[in-house]
Structure 1
Amino acid sequence: MKTIRMSIIGFGAVGQGVAKVLIDKKDYLESIGLDFKVVAIADSRTAVVDLNGVDLTAAISRKSAEGTVGSEKTTGLEIIETIDHELVVETTPTNIVTGGAGLHNMLMAFKHGRDVVTSNKGPLAMKYGELMETSNASGSVFRFEATVGGAMPVLNLARDVLAGNKITNVEGIFNGTCNYILTRMMEEHAPYGQMLAEAQELGYAETDPTYDVEGIDTACKLVILANCVFGMNATHEDVTITGITKITPEALLLAQNDGYVIKLIGEVNDSRINVAPKLVPIDHPLAVGGSLNVASVQTDLSGPITVTGRGAGSIETASAILSDMISIYRE
């Protein structure tokens, strides 16, 4: 049995999802020879540290009841720097202006030779080159499947499963909030504002939905694809972006009468990175509804490969994090 000591830095929905998945999959992980021992968890204000292994059920309960994970005033950065462990799971909130705490956490982890698995798009959209360079220099493994499609495996599909193929284009729906709003606008012939309010009520959209509806979230994911799959050195400033806020029920109805749906499509290839609403034939693989995500990867040998899945949700995102964790240590 291989024991991997790990920390969870950031204990919001995704960090708690990781803890839940580790509890649920304990027997499975042991069956493949892996024991992930969480020695520290930090949220934005507190931390819990136990070198014998944090009680994950108690940590989740405390966070739910009291809003904090522990009583110690240790920061995530201090945990990464001072506590001996192999793996940092970085799930702090995304900041695409500065990279946020996540950027400092990742660089600190690499400085100490720790592996990093993350769902945090901000640092990768801002400083992809620096992060890869630093992780390579320290011999750390850096995985980030959860940053692009949640449970929908895009990066590992492109990098590992389709190894040997030349990938010429990736396009798809990378934001479930926008997809939900557009789907419901079409179903109900209702205006954007009404369906945004519904999405907020159901928890699909944030109180401030700008990041999603203006296409910025999709742009960040495309930047990560551009850099990881196409070897570009892009930032979100290199993306042409149009959001969904000006789409009307009338436009959706006109499209529907002609056999189309309108979707917010992100596309990346070696010449452009673009996010915009587009007409998609109603029977096309990209015409998925609800809050689903979909990606079509165009290859020279295999043709188009399309994957669909849930792009958000704490357990769905945690599943992508777990997949990365297993892929690092199973060998």
Structure 2
Amino acid sequence: MNEAIKVGVIGLGTVGQGVLRLLKDNADEITRRVGRPLRVTYASVRDPNKPRDCDLSGVTTVADPMQIARDADVDLIVEAIGGISPARELIETAVGRGISVVTANKALIAEDGNRIFDAARQTGASVAFEAAVAGGIPVIKAVREGLAGNRVERLAGIINGTCNYILTQMQEKGTSFDEALRDAQRLGYAEADPTFDIEGMDSAHKLTILASIAFGVPLDYASVSVEGITKVTPQDIQIAQVFGYRIKLLGIAKRHATGVELCVHPTLVSEKAMIAKVDGVLNSVVVHGNAVGEVGFYGRGAGGDATASAVVADLCDLARTLGVDARHAVPPLAFQPEAVQPLPVMAMADVPSAFYLRLLVADEPGVLSKLTTILAAHDISVEAILQREPHGEDDATVALITSVIPQHRFDHALTEMRALPFVREDAARLRVEKFE
């Protein structure tokens, strides 16, 4: 009964090594929780001679990860190589022989999760993925299980530490986007090619997973509207602060009468909101349920140890129910498979929001009057407005925040404003999100 549960780890990068360290360092606590020890017996490594920060004694290392997925004598498998392929094929091979898998692979779950869960269901295996969203924060389990008695109405999250670090540096030090990005790369918070993070795709993968669990809809990454942070300027951050806001890259999912809103974009958030106070590389997710109201989760969203914490938590869950048909366990997307049904995803033009607008205009009489006249003609009220001193001899900055309106109405007004002869540059436009 106390025989060790054998674990195979595919990939010994930062996360894989973190899993081995955690299983060793906390072995006694884990055994007390599970009832049996968890022991890594197989691991795949591309370079067997590369030094690693983990104890590999008693671990059989192989070069071909498919040996573990297809043949190894293991009870559970951790996929820690990332990417779509060959991770998908490895997981499908493992679950095909009834071996449950833990993964931190948000891209794979967001883009191919429906297919993978179907494959696992055929054999009664599980695919657990707590670490795929917000690293060490147990938000998947909280939404899927802790809020099971609620109808989730909306959620929003800072779910990319790289972007949050860059925006924090721009806020606190007044640095440009490029300077803050270079600093993030120097510290190892951003990749050499940061496109996946700064253009919002990483956040969109994570939002896809959260929305599916919250609303009981199929994973649908392609339907997420995505906008990154590359166009956010120090001037926008400074003006937002004058208005009482901070700028954060948020992933947002909301129910509306006509469908669901799924979007990732830089957002003005009131400085009084808890999520506005989450800085640096930290993550936060806020969820609103119809019974519980608003609940928040906060912590380390990335890093080897934080991610390993979530992976090992999943291993513990699977180890406790080893041998139990997963078709009788908590469904991966919270709802019973036959009850996971698509909802219409709203076009962003129809999504209601308040908007922040910044314009560079000629410094001449009547500018504000003409701008507000156009807004009024489109039934848009202004909640806050300011005009800053001229940048040169002739130009000034006008910034305002509107009431909540459908985006298409704001876009029509903006088209008219851009055509005015005194508007010098294309507008900076950001959404404004209200929290309780």
Instruction: Report if TM-score (shorter chain) is over 0.5.
Output: yes
- The structure 1 residue matched to 2:196, chosen from 190, 195, 211, is 211
Q: Can you list the C-alpha shifts for 1:225-244, whole angstroms capped at 9, x where unaligned?
A: 22233222233221101100
Task: Specify the alignment match of 1:330 in structure 2.
Answer: 320
CA shift, 1:324, in A, is: 1.1
Task: Specify the alignment match of 1:26 in structure 2.
Answer: 27
> Do the aligned residues in 2 keep the contact of 1:100 with 1:122 (CA within 8 Å)?
no
SS at match of 2:133: helix
Alignment of 1:120-139 (within 5 A): 120-139=105-124
Please give the alpha-carbon distance, in whole angstroms, between the structure 1 residues aligned to 2:213 and 2:198. Answer: 25
SS at match of 1:28: helix
> Do the aligned residues in 1 keep the contact of 2:42 with 2:60 (CA within 8 Å)?
no
- My pick for the range that moved more, 99-108 or 175-184, is 99-108
> What code does the residue aligned with 2:234 have?
P
Deviating beyond 4 angstroms after TM superposition, the runs of 4 or more aligned structure 1 residues are: 69-72
> What code does the residue aligned with 1:24 have?
D
SS at match of 1:135: helix
2:89 is the alignment partner of 1:87: no
- Gaps (5+ residues) in structure 2? 322-436
Please give the alpha-carbon distance, in whole angstroms, between the structure 2 residues aligned to 1:203 and 1:223. Answer: 26
> Do the aligned residues in 2 keep the contact of 1:46 with 1:70 (CA within 8 Å)?
no
Task: Specify the alignment match of 1:304 in structure 2.
Answer: 294
Percent sequence identity over aligned pairs: 37
Please give the alpha-carbon distance, in whole angstroms, between the structure 1 residues aligned to 2:79 and 2:127. Answer: 11
Please give the alpha-carbon distance, in whole angstroms, between the structure 1 residues aligned to 2:270 and 2:119. Answer: 44
Task: Specify the alignment match of 2:212 in structure 1.
Answer: 227
RMSD across aligned C-alpha pairs, in angstroms? 2.0
> Do the aligned residues in 2 keep the contact of 1:179 with 1:292 (CA within 8 Å)?
yes
- The structure 2 residue matched to 1:295, chosen from 277, 285, 309, is 285
> What code does the residue aligned with 2:145 have?
D
2:141 is the alignment partner of 1:151: no
Please give the alpha-carbon distance, in whole angstroms, between the structure 2 residues aligned to 1:59 and 1:210. Answer: 38
Task: Specify the alignment match of 2:43 in structure 1.
Answer: 41
- The structure 1 residue matched to 2:126, chosen from 128, 137, 141, is 141
Q: Can you list the C-alpha shifts for 1:96-127, whole angstroms capped at 9, x where unaligned?
A: xxx22211111011101001111011221111
Question: Given the superposition, is the C-alpha separation of residues 8 and 242 from structure 1 closer, same or farther in structure 2, using an over 3 Å criterion?
Answer: same
> Do the aligned residues in 2 keep the contact of 1:155 with 1:229 (CA within 8 Å)?
no
| Structure showing greater Rg | 2
Please give the alpha-carbon distance, in whole angstroms, between the structure 2 residues aligned to 1:213 and 1:129. Answer: 26
Task: Specify the alignment match of 2:375 in structure 1.
Answer: none
Alignment of 1:1-331 (within 5 A): 1-32=2-33, 33-45=35-47, 57-58=55-56, 72-73=62-63, 75-93=64-82, 95=83, 99-270=84-255, 271-287=260-276, 288-330=278-320
Task: Specify the alignment match of 1:51 in structure 2.
Answer: none
CA shift, 1:56, in A, is: 5.3
- Asked which structure has the greater RCO (Cα within 8 Å, sep 6+), the reply is 1
CA shift, 1:327, in A, is: 1.8
> What code does the residue aligned with 1:105 have?
L
SS at match of 2:86: helix
Please give the alpha-carbon distance, in whole angstroms, between the structure 2 residues aligned to 1:44 and 1:284. Answer: 46
> What code does the residue aligned with 2:21 have?
K
Please give the alpha-carbon distance, in whole angstroms, between the structure 2 residues aligned to 1:285 and 1:302. Answer: 17
SS at match of 2:37: strand
Please give the alpha-carbon distance, in whole angstroms, between the structure 2 residues aligned to 1:296 and 1:179. Answer: 16
Please give the alpha-carbon distance, in whole angstroms, between the structure 2 residues aligned to 1:226 and 1:254. Answer: 32
> Do the aligned residues in 1 keep the contact of 2:159 with 2:251 (CA within 8 Å)?
yes
Question: Given the superposition, is the C-alpha separation of residues 146 and 315 from structure 1 closer, same or farther in structure 2, using an over 3 Å criterion?
Answer: same
Q: Can you list the C-alpha shifts for 1:23-61, whole angstroms capped at 9, x where unaligned?
A: 1111112223221121110133559xxxxxxx951469x
Q: State the number of aligned residues.
A: 311
Please give the alpha-carbon distance, in whole angstroms, between the structure 2 residues aligned to 1:222 and 1:71. Answer: 35
> What code does the residue aligned with 1:43 have?
V
> Do the aligned residues in 2 keep the contact of 1:86 with 1:114 (CA within 8 Å)?
yes
- Gaps (5+ residues) in structure 1? 48-54, 61-68
> Do the aligned residues in 2 keep the contact of 1:219 with 1:274 (CA within 8 Å)?
yes
- My pick for the range that moved more, 231-240 or 76-85, is 231-240
